[in-house]
Amino acid sequence: MVTFERVGAMTGRNPRRTLALSEGVAEALEAESRRTGEDVPAVAERLILAGLEGRGHSLFQVSTTAALVKGVFTGATTVGELKRHGDFGLGTFEGLDGELMMLDGVCFRASAGGTISIADDDREVPFAVVTRFREDTRISLAGISSLEVLGRRIDEWRPSENIFIAVRGDGHFTTVAMRAACRALPGEDLVTATRRQSEFTVSGVDGVLIGFWTPTYASSINVPGYHFHFLAEDRSVGGHVLGLSIRDVDVALHVESDVHVALPSTSQFLAADLRGDTVQALDVAESARED
């Protein structure tokens, strides 16, 4: 048996907790720790919480796209907190400063030109959606000429128009047109800020699509339809996907039967006027162009 201790993380009469583990479990936790960069107790806590809280098919979201459209870019949580709720997802950073991609428990940031860096746990996030990705359905696709075609092909495998779906696509991409949002100026809304976004295209690259499909009825909460970010396999480039073509891709779908939206308590969110239909403005900001 192997014993791990975590000290100082709890309060009360028993601030110290020990857990005796079999050699096999300990080795698995250590392997996960090496992969994600978390310490072993943090890995154990994350995985135990996932099991106890029944998050096998749960989506966790911070803020709403309606707030994002209105320029609510103040950090509402941190990267470290997001990792407690998922290992796969997308979003942005405080001030709209880059694109967020979470893959296999690691959080990446795409800045101008798609340059990739690993985001620190204390980096603040105004909007994100994450899940613990577990494959429910897998399909292999080839010869995809556009985002629209990709969506139609995936649609054939979605079980309903009324539930959220996480989508992961691993493959070889002929082209990927992307953007990386630049830090917003004070008072800017999403459409205004993204007019200055960094746009770029890569060709002949292996990588991963990180995305979600959102039902139409939830359009004030998240991007209706498909929303994808991309991360190159070698972590050289990434960003929000504007258009693509694909040689071949394996697409895995994860059904979300439970959706949790955490509303910010920031003064900016509480004071924001979130009335009105933001779908058209969101479409302008999210789909600036289609190659």
pLDDT at 12: 42
| 261 and 221 Cβ atoms separated by less than 8 Å | yes
Decide if pLDDT at 25 tops 70. Answer: yes
Could you give the domains of the chain?
2-52 (no CATH), 55-130 (3.30.1330.80), 133-256+276-286 (3.30.1330.80)
Q: What is the pLDDT of residues 64-86, one digit of tens each?
A: 999 999 999 999 999 999 999 99
* Residues 6+ positions from 182 with CB-CB distance below 8 Å: 96, 97, 112, 193, 196, 197, 198
pLDDT at 5: 46
Q: Quick one: which H or E segment has residue 267?
A: helix 267-271
Q: What is the pLDDT of residues 177-236, one digit of tens each?
A: 999 988 999 889 888 888 888 999 999 999 999 999 999 999 889 989 999 999 999 999
pLDDT at 17: 58
pLDDT at 59: 94
The crossing angle, in degrees rounded to 10, of helices 40-52 and 23-36 is 100
Say which residue the tokens 């993204």 belong to. Answer: 194
Instruction: Return the closest-CA partner of residue 116 out of 224, 208, 32, 2.
Output: 208
What are the φ/ψ torsions at residue 143 (nearest 5 degrees)?
Answer: 65, 40
Category of 55 on φ-ψ map: left (φ > 0), alpha (ψ -120 to 50) or beta: alpha
Decide if pLDDT at 11 tops 50. Answer: no
pTM of the model: 0.79
pLDDT confidence band for 19 (50 / 70 / 90) = low
pLDDT confidence band for 160 (50 / 70 / 90) = very high
| 36 and 43 Cβ atoms separated by less than 8 Å | yes
CB atoms within 10 A of CB 3: 9
Say which residue the tokens 């000429």 belong to. Answer: 145
DSSP codes, 90-152 = EEE-GGG-SEEEEETTEEEEE-GGG-EEEPPTT-EESEEEEE----SEEEEEEEE-SHHHHHH
DSSP codes, 29-97 = HHHHHHHH---HHHHHHHHHHHHHTTGGGEEEEES-HHHHHTT--S--EEHHHHHTT-SEEEEE-GGG-
| 105 and 35 Cβ atoms separated by less than 8 Å | yes
Instruction: Return the closest-CA partner of residue 176 out of 148, 205, 135, 136.
Output: 205
